[in-house]
A and B are shown apart, each in its own frame.
Chain A
């Protein structure tokens, strides 16, 4: 029997190529993108018209807000507000994620820990992180420590819970395989099988953690800061600088969107195998 023979026996299309590329898929994606952006343009157009028709001065037209936004990005606000905000959000996200992954792996791995930690964790998770801001301010002042700490506290839970779950629910078949083919013991099992198998769920936790980091950033800056985007929005509102207030909100939206986009790109690379695997179920 020859190679071609046995490989052909498995049938045409036996090798499932990455069916993602291809002209048709490309066209569908372009169409989807065009529709999505078209709808955004429509909404912005409606905003523009509503803003121009508005007599209460509560809604400036989109064009005015957009100009203000460009001014923000090109002006002092970039260094005094936007960058500090981003730095805090990312620092909090990174710290919260690290703590969440480490604790989550520990909890998922040593099941004996669960009975001890369960109630405490469920309680702590139920406490909304912003509620701890006043306490944090007492302890650390209205400092970056406070803000980053509260952001981390907000991000930690989804990461921790997803990681624990992912580590616990590794396919039993993978564990059997590892026990036959990876003879290095528990540490090797964790590193070579459990962690990779849990990555999709860890990533899902990180995604939620990222969104929460931005929310916590805004809250912490509104309450305990004299800089940052959250504070900028508040300042603008107090000065009745509505254009700037709207620009701040719009900028937050854009930043959140860009960060999510970046995260998705990283995720797609890291989890190419996972999407390939799932792609077959569809």
Chain B
């Protein structure tokens, strides 16, 4: 499933082959002699090849920290991360990330096109151009290639970040609250767009969010984290067929049921705050 990029693939195939696996992950932060923050308590989870997993958890529970550990950007204190069977020491080559803060992750000195091409330096120029064009088309920004990111709205910038990720033709896409700072309407549009891109490209996707509706609407499985120090409270399967339509999905009884359960789980998890 490495080189498939054409829309021809109807829907991702589900296999039970584990692609990303975390066992007993823990992470503290200490600032010099100051207080230490116990961000991640004990998290274990696995993501199967081709699966779309959402991680929900209250604000500040260590979701971003978890994503940075998962991707090899940050070394955990305890536990280990395996990607395709190998321990993760650096960011794997076929893993792409859409960060939470798009305005601090896109490079403001590069145009949209060059941002999208940023990860493709190994390829010949013509191929790079084509990949960027294709990625921008998928996020419907083909007309903005020569703009700078800061000339675009927040939602558009986040789409540039998504284009940069998919231009890499990754196997795994990690997204950290990608739609947290856009308005509700844009958000729905972006969720639908992202879900369909992920399906079309057969990506293994891990979406971090604190929005329960978003998690259920987009994912095959929802992992619920507790407050800090976080651990996995529950994992819930979302058995709603794809392609999903946002309004239709939200009207389903399964949806409300899942939503209520996750809500209770998050609310009930003991807040081990300092």
A-to-B contact residues, CB < 8 Å? 1, 3, 5-7, 9-11, 14-18, 171-174, 176-177, 179-184, 188, 192-193, 196-197, 199, 273-274, 276-277, 280
Contacts and interface: CB of A to CB of B under 8 A. Distances in A.
A280 to B, nearest CB: 6
A196 B109 contact: yes
Nearest to B196: A1
B151 A3 contact: no
Given A171-B104, A174-B107, A179 B91 contact: yes
Contacts of A182: 118-119, 121
B97 interface: yes
A193 B96 contact: no
A15 B151 CA distance: 6
B148 A276 contact: yes
A147 B119 CA distance: 47
Contacts of A277: 108, 148, 150
Given A3-B140, A10-B156, A181-B119, A193 B151 contact: no
Contacts of B150: 16, 273, 276-277, 280
Interface residues of B, number: 45
Given A173-B99, A180-B71, A182-B118, A10 B140 contact: no
Contact of A14 (B71, B95, B110, B156): B156
Contacts of A16: 150-153
B33 interface: no
Interface stretch (B42-50, B55-63, B184-192): B184-192
Contact of A9 (B71, B101, B141, B185): B185
Interface of B: 68, 71, 73, 90-91, 93, 95-97, 99, 101, 104-110, 118-119, 121, 140-144, 147-148, 150-156, 164, 168, 182-183, 185-186, 189-190, 192-193
Q: Is the interface of A mostly helix, strand, loop or mixed?
A: helix
B105 A173 contact: yes
Given A181-B168, A274-B108, 6 more contacts: A18-B151, A173-B104, A180-B95, A184-B121, A197-B107, A273-B150
B107 A7 contact: no
A6 B183 CA distance: 12
A173 B164 contact: no
B153 A11 contact: yes
A173 B110 CA distance: 15
Which 4 A/B pairs are nearest by Cβ-Cβ distance?
Answer: A173-B104, A181-B119, A14-B153, A10-B153
